[in-house]
Amino acid sequence: MEGLVCKESKGWCIQLIKAAVLGSPINHSLSPLLHTIAYAELGLESDYSRIEVKSGELAGFLETCDSSWTGFSLTMPLKEEVLSCSTDISEIAVRIRSANTLVRTGDGLSATSTDISGFTHALTANTADARGEVLIIGAGGTARAVAAACDGVATRISVMNRSPSRIEAIANCVQLSELAFISWDESEIFDKADLIISTTPEGASDSLIDFFPSRPTSLFFDVLYKPWPTKVCAAWAARGGQIIDGLDLLIHQGIDQVAMFSQLSFDRSSMATLMRRHGLKALESST
């Protein structure tokens, strides 16, 4: 199969997945653990590592990589930078101006995003959806993916952000739902929204905790899993609200990458359960 390197051992073919997660900082990433567990479950040999690649360094790094690499997972700050490093970019990655995946296609690497499908599958796995009023906190690359995932499902998408320069990019991701931009101090939105998604870097949403309802009835989804648990997730849950944590997003966007890298189909629910069990153990042991 394309993208896999076969080695002969004891008369049968072991398919080697050679991949890595790239970004900075990268030491906290659970992707190597989750991917390695998934490939082992599929009966595949793998070498999945984490590699520190800082902003401005991606093109140079990719030039050093030969065709033995199956693909790469990308995290901050490379999701936007990668679009200038690949000539084969999926339509959805172009739309959200972000890609979290590079996969071997012939002699090159194709850029795409599994953030949108990962977000949708994480909602579904928690018997939730994006219908009604959606609040997105932040307006970066992950926010654009979330907005695209909610578009056409949500009646209204409100984006709470501090940077006017990001408005045009996220507006291009919403074509069907009503879209509004609100300021950081519009606290009443937390009582109105059916689904709230925090897409900001670590600690950036913590100042909003004082605006949380005393008895929230909506669902709060934090895309982060470090620190564990995040302050906003802990605060929402302490008030009795339902949460989805960033581990679920990592798992479901990772499952789609595993399918691309392995070119195999498998049961998503069973794989997600397996990956979450190991992911939780790793997170709980690190706190």
- Which structural domains are found in the chain, ordered by start? 5-113+248-285 (3.40.50.10860), 117-244 (3.40.50.720)
pLDDT tens-digit series, residues 46-55: 999 999 999 9
Residues 232 and 222: their CA atoms lie apart, in Å, by 8
Tell me the pTM. 0.92
pLDDT tens-digit series, residues 224-275: 999 999 999 999 999 999 999 999 999 999 999 999 999 999 999 999 999 9
- Share the mean pLDDT of the chain: 93
Q: What pLDDT sits at residue 162?
A: 86
pLDDT grade for 15, boundaries at 50, 70 and 90? low
Q: What pLDDT sits at residue 14?
A: 45
pLDDT at 37 exceeding the cut of 90: yes
pLDDT tens-digit series, residues 205-228: 999 999 999 999 999 999 999 999
Contacts 24+ apart (CB under 8 A), 147-152: 147/96, 147/173, 147/174, 147/179, 148/92, 148/95, 148/96, 148/116, 148/173, 148/174, 149/115, 149/116, 149/117, 149/119, 149/120, 150/174, 150/177, 150/195, 151/175, 151/176, 151/177, 152/176, 152/177
